[in-house]
Amino acid sequence: MRFGGTTALAGVDLTVARGERVAVVGASGAGKSTLLGVLDGTVTPSAGKVLVHGTDPGSVRGRELRRLRGRTGTVRQHLELPGQLRVVHNVNAGRLGSWSVSRAAWSLLRPQGTAEVAAALHRLGLADRMYERTDRLSGGQRQRVAVARLLVQRPELVLADEPASALDPALADTVLAVLGELAAERGGALVACLHDPALALRHSDRVVGLDSGRVVLDAAAGSLTVAELERFYGVAR
């Protein structure tokens, strides 16, 4: 993947299998977010081939593309949750793709499927925030709303870009555990970019390390130590 004169990903050859929880690690600018973008179809690779759920996203259109996209869910680093909407609407946005236009429109007046929204928020410690305006929440609370959105979407492939960056250690563990469970519920996979080496090792089966867009580490999480991983973040302790 090239952006003008910058090579963000080069020669990446990677297969993620069902049931895997993969932590993607690497220093800032290593290509982690670009890799997730290529997987969820928001970044079109300048060369090479990507298959998601066995399909090249660039080869399908219309309903087939929407169905394919519905099977992948992403929590982004700079998530854009419309602040003026209440939490319930932002969570329900996760399943707009599976609703009719009339149901989606009606839901803005009378929120639909609130039991599932409440259950998702409860899982993330936000049970009492369902009808609050999203812009009244803290950064960490908004991050969890974005995760709740994935819980109601129920994707098979769960992609997360620093999903715990604004959270305290206990909540970071909760969110990573919930994301792993979500992928497992559909027999899918979790691919998460994580800056915290200990968190990455606790919540992944496999660690993929990027350096200047290349895969320089691909190992079982159980075979790595926190100290070894810190090297990939340029962290000196």
Contact set with ligand ATP (CB under 6 A): 3, 6, 8, 26, 28-34
Q: Where are the alpha helices (DSSP H) in 61-100?
A: 62-70, 87-92
| Least gap, CB of 91 to ligand ATP (angstroms) | 25
Q: Which residues contact 139 (CB under 8 A, 6 or more apart)?
A: 166
Q: How far is the CB of 16 from ligand ATP (least distance, A)?
A: 17
Least distance (Å) between residue 33 CB and ligand ATP: 3
Q: Please, what is the minimum distance in Å from the beta carbon of residue 165 to ligand ATP?
A: 10
Q: State which residue, 186 or 214, has the beta carbon closest to ligand ATP.
A: 214
145 with 88: CB under 8 angstroms? no
| Distance (Å) of CA 156 to CA 52, 74, 159, 166, 187 | 11, 11, 10, 25, 7
Q: Which is nearer to ligand ATP, 11 or 222 (CB)?
A: 11
Of 80 and 128, which has the nearer Cβ to ligand ATP? 80
Measured from the CB atom, the residue of 121 and 176 that comes closer to ligand ATP is: 176
Alpha-carbon span 129 to 144, nearest angstrom: 11
Q: Identify the residue whose tokens are 């759920």.
A: 53
Tell me how far apart the terminal alpha carbons of the chain are, to the nearest angstrom: 33
Closest distance between ligand ATP and the C-beta of residue 214, in Å? 12
Q: Which is nearer to ligand ATP, 77 or 114 (CB)?
A: 77
DSSP states along 96-112: GGGS-HHHHHHHHHS-S
- From the list 142, 237, 145, 146, the residue with the least C-alpha distance to 196 is 237
